[in-house]
Each structure stands twice: as structure tokens, then as C-alpha cells.
């Protein structure tokens, strides 16, 4: 089993959060694709097409997407990755630990809420992964 781990990448704390998800996946012997680890981060002089191609290639052989929804809004890249996964019929589990989902309705799209399993903690993520393996 392989999981694509999606989420904001700009801040170290955001990348650390995704790496925590990666560690949980490893505990369940789930291989992972982490965009910042496997494709790198955008910086001046880097070709956007190369990054995009690498991220899209990251979906190959993925059985699951785990998406970080923390923050004021769902990140544009994260939303794109979730939509791409939905179109490819790859299940998505989203995690939102910073605010209650009920308090975040305006920041999370109705289509995301209506099509995605959203969990609230790393403990819940572990339970979901245990069911899958």
C-alpha cells in the first residue's frame, strides 16, 4: 500500500506535520510519497513544470491520499491534489487538528466536506490506517 501525503509546504511546521503522518504510515508498513521530500520545494530558479510533473508522478501506484486541512483555508495545492485523487477514484482521508470541523465550515469547501472522510487527530488516523492494512 502507498499513500500520497498532501498539505501546505511553505513553513517548516507544515512539513513537520506531514512528516508525522509519514511516520505513522511507516508504522503500518505503508509506503509514502511526500512532495517536499520526493520532488523538492519551490525556490527561485526552479521550473514549476518539473515540480508539477514530479507531484503528479507521485500519484502512481498510490492507494490512498492523506491530506492536511489545517490552516485558515485548504491550501490550493492540497485542494488540487484531493480533486485529482477524487477524479482517479483514489480514497482521501483528510486530517484537521487545529480547529473543530464544525467551526471551519466556511474555510473548507462544501464539496471537500461532502466527499472526504475528515478526521480530527493522529489517533484517528492510526485507526483508519489499521482498518486499511
Confidence at residue 45, expressed as pLDDT on a 0 to 100 scale: 63
Nearest CA-CA partner of 130 in 87, 83, 93, 85: 93
Any idea of the CA torsion for 102, 133, 79, 52, to the nearest 10 degrees? 160
**Domain assignments of the chain as residue spans, ordered by start:** 2-120
pTM over 0.85: yes
Q: What CATH number should be reported for the domain whose range is 2-120?
A: 3.40.50.450
Interatomic CA distance for residues 24 and 14, integer angstroms: 16
Confidence at residue 44, expressed as pLDDT on a 0 to 100 scale: 61
**58-77 per-position pLDDT tens digit:** 999 999 999 999 988 888 99
- When mean pLDDT is compared across 14-23, 28-37, 68-77, 85-94, the lowest value belongs to 68-77
Confidence at residue 99, expressed as pLDDT on a 0 to 100 scale: 81
Amino acid at each position: 500500500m502507498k499513500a500520497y501525503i498532501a498539505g501546505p509546504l511553505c513553513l517548516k511546521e507544515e512539513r513537520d506535520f506531514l512528516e508525522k503522518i509519514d511516520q505513522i504510515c511507516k508504522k503500518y508498513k505503508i509506503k509514502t510519497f511526500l512532495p517536499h521530500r520526493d520532488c523538492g520545494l519551490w525556490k527561485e530558479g526552479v521550473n514549476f513544470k518539473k515540480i508539477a510533473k514530479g507531484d503528479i508522478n507521485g500519484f502512481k501506484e498510490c492507494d490512498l491520499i492523506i491530506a492536511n486541512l489545517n490552516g485558515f483555508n485548504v491550501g490550493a495545492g492540497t485542494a488540487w491534489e484531493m480533486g485529482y485523487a477524487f477524479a482517479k477514484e483514489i480514497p482521501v482521508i483528510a486530517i484537521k487538528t487545529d480547529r473543530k470541523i464544525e467551526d471551519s465550515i466556511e474555510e473548507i469547501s462544501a464539496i471537500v466536506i461532502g466527499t472526504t472522510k475528515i478526521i480530527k487527530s493522529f489517533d484517528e488516523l492510526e485507526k483508519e490506517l489499521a482498518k486499511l492494512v
